[in-house]
Chain A
Amino acid sequence: MKLTGKTHIFGDNIDTDVIIPARYLNTIDPAELALHCMEDIDAAFVDKVQKGDIMVAGYNFGCGSSREHAPIAIKGSGISCVIARSFARIFYRNAINIGLPILECDEILSEISEGDCLEVDLSAGTILNKTTGKSYSSEAFPEFMREIIEAGGEIEYIKKKLGEGVD
């Protein structure tokens, strides 16, 4: 599966409080959460972002609170994929569980500009910067996680598993 979109760049330690501030956690509606995505670090983000765009960030993306509302807000805002140098572990699980594609890539951040156009091949784990012509590879998901992603998220995966008699 290939994704193409313009990039929005963020730094290190982007925490879930700035991804979706707690004052908006009185709802679980993805559309409403998306209206406030990244609000406390880039108030203009929701006006700039277009469907299919790609977020690129530094180390420890999604640190802090366990709120699954964070990947939901990002997905709801139209972002098709998040590429970061590394992810905080709860965010990593949550993104896989809700079907937000994420990739770990160390090199790309230092060679990218805001608005560059990227093409991401999720099954191959490759990233092409169409603006600069440079390509990158990322760590492949373990097979176990690919099964969750291929099932369409954790709920579909567990439904299948429970259906097979595991209780």
Chain B
Amino acid sequence: MAREIVVGCGGASSRFALERVSRDKLYGKRRRVIVDERGGECQPGTLLRDGSALLLPGSVAQLYVDAAFDVVERDQLSAVDDDGRFLDKVDSTLGVEQPVTGPVPPERVLDTITTAVYALEPTEVDPELAAALAAGDIFETRFSYRGGYEDAPAFLLQNEHGLFALIGEETAFPWLERAAPAADEEDDPFADDELDFSMF
């Protein structure tokens, strides 16, 4: 059975099949390719500074180790909060009815950054919810694709292209006051901006 976003409100349940939407799927992609003097495509490698090895892609493994440098397998990992308390795992929300709230104002979406977009295809939808979405209302629920240690806000909305779920991450910017501390001298929000040559 296909994985679905399932939301419920007032005893009525709605189910939506989902498909990830990305910039590359919409517009295509531009990428930078390095070639040698004969036009052969080159691949990135890692050269150890002592000259002992040239490592090609696939030559390294990334894993978690403890203080004694013993490997900790992924299924052995846990999560703790600032007080050292173990956190419970959150199951995937797909296929599991989540409460939906709303309509929420657009500012609620603007309080988050969108980390993923899914195009939705309703397989069973509460007529009241469908009508509200078609009228431009936005609804909020919770979402976790695979499960983990926290879920995320998800916003359901509809435009002329169809229904979408926007998965968000809270931003929580502070209010600025005249006496607010000066901007952080070390902060560069685009220092990690990936190189991107995709069409605009």
A binds B: no
- By a beta-carbon cutoff of 8 Å, the part of chain A in contact with chain B is none
